[in-house]
Amino acid sequence: MAQDAIRLDGKVVLITGGAGGIGWATAQRMAQRGARVAIADIAFDRARELAETLPGALAIALDLEQADSIEAMIAGTVAHFGRLDVLHNNAALLGPDIAQQDGDIEHMATALWDRTYAVNVRGTMIGCRAALPHLRVSGGNIVNTVSNLALQGHIIQAAYSSSKAAIIQMTRAIAASHGIHGVRCNAVAPGMTMTPALREAFPPQLREAVEGETLRPQLGVAEDIAEAVAFLASDAARNITGQVLVADGGCASHVPGLAAFRAFFSGDAFQGVGH
């Protein structure tokens, strides 16, 4: 493998939700590694503003609830750049108003459930379906953003977490069915990541609770997820497919109640216990 396998020189990368925190950090990282980037987002003005800061980048309007919009995104990217090497499905239905409605199943509104699946699962499927013929030609790959909530139970975000679990299985299905054609498909599962949207959606005390369960001194930031995505998209990850890379600072890796245990064993009477 070449020493510069992490590079993305000449590759065309399409990022959905590219005007958001993780999407924008990923677009920047991909461009720094030499990729030509298409930024697709429902917030088109913001996407265009950001695209203007990256050499040769393209902004595309995207509505994941509309199949025509998704298919036009793929076709427009290929028409503009002449190829497609990486599809990063990052966009999702996730904002402060949605988060407040997305609780447990007993109190779940059917309309919210249906819309979450329409955007997150159906939208991702249509994007992959439209991209796969082009990725077969380029020997490209797909990287899906999921969530560590797709791997764990929680009392909130039942619709969001289960939709992301569905995307994990879609990731495996695509990897299994299209690997023979040279197409890889992986997923990145962030934990709570410090973005402007997260600061708006979650009260400080909840962020602090998650931070207490993190094995690092602080929560991750968007650039941490961008690094994981860029790695999976590169030839350095050529032997990795059908996998979920959990990038949550270790939150999903330990026993429940670790923060309480940490506090208990830090007391004077227990210094040295458990070490």
Q: Which residues are catalytic?
A: 160
Would you call 217 exposed, middle or buried from its count of C-beta atoms within 10 A (0-12, 13-18, 19+)?
A: exposed
Of 26, 117, 110, which Cα lies nearest the Cα of 64? 117
- Longest CA pairwise span in the chain (Å): 68
Measured distance CA(183)–CA(161) in Å, rounded: 26
Asked if residue 144 lies in contact with residue 187, where contact means CB atoms within 8 angstroms, the answer is: yes
Would you call 137 exposed, middle or buried from its count of C-beta atoms within 10 A (0-12, 13-18, 19+)?
A: middle
Do strands 193-194 and 86-89 pair parallel, antiparallel, or not at all (unpaired)? unpaired
State in Å, rounded, how far the first CA of the chain is from the last one.
Answer: 41
Would you call 158 exposed, middle or buried from its count of C-beta atoms within 10 A (0-12, 13-18, 19+)?
A: buried
Using alpha carbons, list the distances in angstroms from residue 60 to 49, 65, 223.
11, 15, 22
**Residue 10 per-residue DSSP state:** T
